[in-house]
Structure 1
Amino acid sequence: MTDPTPHLFWITSRAAGFAALVLASLAVSLGLLMSTKLLKGKTSELRAAHDTLALATIVAIVVHAATLLGDQFLHPSIFDISIPFVSGYKTFWASLGVVAGWGLILLGLSYYARRWVGAVRWRKLHRFTALAWLLGLGHALGEGTDAGQVWFLAMIALVVIPALALLFTRLLRAGRGTGTGVPRPRTGGTRAPAGPPAPAAAQMSNIRPSGPTLTTGVVPISASSPQH
């Protein structure tokens, strides 16, 4: 039997990365369920589960990256696991993981800084969580040791496909919302006939002030032009 001790750091990092992807996918799904309001009356339960999954995702990401420092094969430095495009091993896919990791960590922790960030600004920032998750998915499929294994793809599909479907639903609804706004006011056509002038307007009709053009709110009237 092969002694796993020399590969303990790599095995731990591998398991933590898999856990991070599963947890992040579940957190994204719950967040999208809340935003799309597909499950009405379950907001408090979903929010509690979402927050727990988000924190668990952060822990898994930290373990995934930190344990790589002890791997005897890669021998990565702290800069390799924390700065994009520094690692010499599968640089592109590794960089996707670095960006995704930082994105999920910072956006997840930003929830606790809403008081200073502002609720509206925080909601806009939080939308990038889905992008960070997609980058993490790309990192797992491009660099993951088990990416080509059927069991890995099957297990990931169980949590990724629902999240992708909810994300597509959310984007579709947002597109319809921005595309079907309030109808534009009519600029052409026949105007309604004007009613009789108000008494005050009738009294002021003979007064012709000299000066610049006056704006009535509808048509600019020159002070020197005759009134009809």
Structure 2
Amino acid sequence: MTSDTRPDEDGAVTPAGRRRPAGDRVALRADLRSAVPDATAAVVVTVLVFALLWARMESGASDTVAVMPFMDDAGTYWMYLLSQAFGWSGLLWAWGTVMLGLLLSGPRPGRLPVTRQVLERWHRTTSLTTMALMFAHALMFAAELVRYETKVDWAERLWVAFADTFVPGWYDSGTGQVAIPIGQGALYLAIPLGLLFYVRHRIGANTWRRLHRFVIVVYVLSVWHTLLYGTNVWYGEWPRTVLWLLQLPVAALLLARLVRPARRAERLDLPKRGAGTARQAWWWGRAAGRVVAGAVVVGLVVVVVSGRDGGRDRPAHPPATAPHAQETD
């Protein structure tokens, strides 16, 4: 016997035969308008980060120059600095939207300074801004490659820059051979997973909810990309430690979300006696997920306290690095 109710787009229950009013659906166009103040704030933060990176390069204190001495010219490599600035603001916005999402998906907090509807709107708008910042980060990296490849014609310069930036496995220089595909994976997952929200009335709330859980993978890939390739956190010093430290609240909130889910169907109740093999395997898989989340929290604490965060030792003398070889006809 089936229930006479069905889940609506937002997980609420609507009586059978009754359609959700069209005005209640959140439209992408409306959220894009709502995202303007958020995006403006992101641009301001990006400009401030860019100014900081420029000033550090001009003063000789840039970690980017310490890693790649040939870049000791802010006027020449300004597009690379802008790519870095977009990357850092994108990671900050990703952190914020993930925290909002975890807060909304778990047990409702006792007191909130704003309504749940406002938090949901912030989550959606910061998600849209994050996608834009990620794309801008990649686009400015491609623009720097176009500027650099001077030995070939414009068509080939554009193709090489596009392929190195957006085609997985194409970039073949140094740490970027691993770090860039990881960043590409984050970008290519972020866009569809973020936009699926606006078609969840077509694909179904349950399908959307299952897919939306993979957003945390986007965030993990973004942080991983930064730890591998971010020259500002290249060395095992305080900026890298702070980046690790910022992951603690994310991991702790994720663990709390898994241990005390808001939806009854997601609670880890022991399977009934005689439950099928598939049901037991599903239970063990979910239990393992909670154990892994707990282990991540412990691991992050160990990393922060011990200082063993995977950072490189700063060399006594600048490394003898050079740009990757230019393309030739």
Please indicate, yes or no, whether the TM-score normalized by the shorter chain is above 0.5: yes
Report Cα offsets for 1:17-39 as digits up to 9, x if no partner.
11111111111111001111242
Change (3 A) 1:3 1:88: closer
Q: Which amino acid aligns with 1:114?
A: R
- In 1, Cα distance between the equivalents of 2:247 and 2:89? 13
Report Cα offsets for 1:104-139 as digits up to 9, x if no partner.
122111112222222111111100000111011100
- In 2, Cα distance between the equivalents of 1:179 and 1:116? 29
1:5 aligns with 2:91: no
1:167 aligns with 2:254: yes
Report Cα offsets for 1:160-206 as digits up to 9, x if no partner.
221121122223346x9554246437xxxxxxxxxxxxxxxxxxxxx
Contact 2:138–2:165 at 8 Å: present in 1 too? yes
Change (3 A) 1:158 1:19: farther
Contact 1:26–1:163 at 8 Å: present in 2 too? no
Match of residue 70 from structure 1: 143
Alignment of 1:81-120 (within 5 A): 81-89=165-173, 90-120=176-206
- SS of structure 1 residue aligned to 2:231: coil
TM-score normalised to structure 2 length = 0.51
Contact 1:19–1:60 at 8 Å: present in 2 too? yes
- The structure 1 residue matched to 2:128, chosen from 33, 55, 60, is 55
Match of residue 32 from structure 1: 102
- In 2, Cα distance between the equivalents of 1:57 and 1:127? 17
Q: Which amino acid aligns with 2:258?
A: L
- The structure 2 residue matched to 1:132, chosen from 202, 215, 218, is 218
Q: How well do the aligned residues superpose, as a CA RMSD in angstroms?
A: 2.7
- SS of structure 2 residue aligned to 1:5: coil
Q: Which amino acid aligns with 1:123?
A: R
- In 1, Cα distance between the equivalents of 2:73 and 2:180? 28
- In 2, Cα distance between the equivalents of 1:49 and 1:68? 28
Q: Which amino acid aligns with 1:99?
A: G
Tell me, which stretches of 5 or more residues in structure 2 are unaligned? 1-57, 59-71, 150-159, 275-329
- SS of structure 1 residue aligned to 2:228: helix
Tell me, which stretches of 5 or more residues in structure 1 are unaligned? 186-228
- In 2, Cα distance between the equivalents of 1:49 and 1:8? 32
Match of residue 152 from structure 1: 239
Which piece of structure 1 moves more, 107-116 or 132-141?
107-116
Contact 1:20–1:60 at 8 Å: present in 2 too? yes
- Compute the displacement of 1:5 (Å): 2.1
- The structure 2 residue matched to 1:122, chosen from 200, 208, 213, is 208
Identity %: 28
- The structure 2 residue matched to 1:46, chosen from 119, 125, 147, is 119
Q: Which amino acid aligns with 1:91?
A: Q
- SS of structure 1 residue aligned to 2:215: helix
The runs of at least 4 aligned residues of structure 1 exceeding 6 Å deviation read none
TM-score normalised to structure 1 length = 0.71
